[in-house]
Amino acid sequence: MSSTQTFTVTGMTCGHCVASVTEEVQEITGVEDVAVDLPTGAVTITSAVPLDETAVQAAVEEAGYHLA
């Protein structure tokens, strides 16, 4: 059963930002899909298991951004 969670990421301003965040978040074990809405900063993640927020935060920070 899939789990969907939405996080808000600050600092994204362009398509490259979206690609960077998407790439890092997709590397988290269990992630099936990542959808980023640039205007709102919403990052919706669908995963096979519930995600640990610290793993998401680490991935977002690795991309150079922050969770709100």
Give the structural domain span for 54: 3-67
What CATH code is carried by the domain that includes residue 14?
Answer: 3.30.70.100
- The count of structural domains within the chain is 1
pTM: 0.94
Neighbours of 12 (CB within 10 A): 22
Helix (H) or strand (E) holding 21, with range, is helix 15-26
Mean pLDDT for 28-57 is: 96
Percentage of residues in the chain having pLDDT higher than 90 = 94
Please tell me the distance from the alpha carbon of residue 31 to that of residue 45, in angstroms, as a whole number.
Answer: 7
pLDDT at 23: 98
